[in-house]
Amino acid sequence: MKFSANLGFLWTDRALPDAIRAASAAGFDAVELHWPYETDPAEVRSALDETGLPCLGLNTPRGDTGAGENGLSALPGREGEARAAIEQALDYAVAIDAANVHVMAGVAEGPEAEAAFIANLQFAAARAGRRGILIEPLNHYDAPGYFLNTATQAARIVETVGDPNVKIMFDCYHIQLMQGDLTHRLRTLLPAIGHIQIASVPDRGTPDHGELNYSYIYDLLGELGWQSPLGAEYKVATPTDETLDWLRAARG
Total domain count for the chain?
Answer: 1
pLDDT one-digit tens code per residue, 225-245: 999 999 999 999 999 999 999
Q: Does residue 64 register a pLDDT over 90?
A: yes
The answer, yes or no, to whether residue 251 has pLDDT greater than 90, is no
Q: How far is CA 187 from CA 14, 218, 220, 222, 226, in A?
A: 38, 13, 9, 12, 11
Q: CA–CA separation, 32 vs 92, rounded Å?
A: 13
10: CATH = 3.20.20.150
**Could you report the per-residue pLDDT of 2-29, keeping only the tens digit for each?**
999 999 999 999 999 999 999 999 999 9
- Largest distance between two CA atoms of the chain: 51
C-alpha–C-alpha distance, residues 251 and 242, integer Å: 16
pLDDT tens string 132-142: 999 999 999 99
Q: What is the pLDDT of residues 78-114, one digit of tens each?
A: 999 999 999 999 999 999 999 999 999 999 999 999 9
The partner residues of 198 in beta bridges, in order of sequence, read 232
Q: What tens digit of pLDDT does each residue of 193-217 get?
A: 999 999 999 999 999 999 999 999 9
The whole-model pTM stands at 0.97
Distance CA 60, CA 73 (A): 9
Can you tell me the distance from the alpha carbon of 191 to that of 168, in angstroms, rounded to the nearest whole number?
9
| pLDDT score of 32 | 98
Active site residues: 136, 233
* Interior/surface letters 145-176, b for 16+ CB within 10 angstroms, e for the rest: ebbbbbbebbbebbeebeeebbbbbbbbbbbb
Q: Identify the domain containing residue 127 by its residue range.
A: 3-251
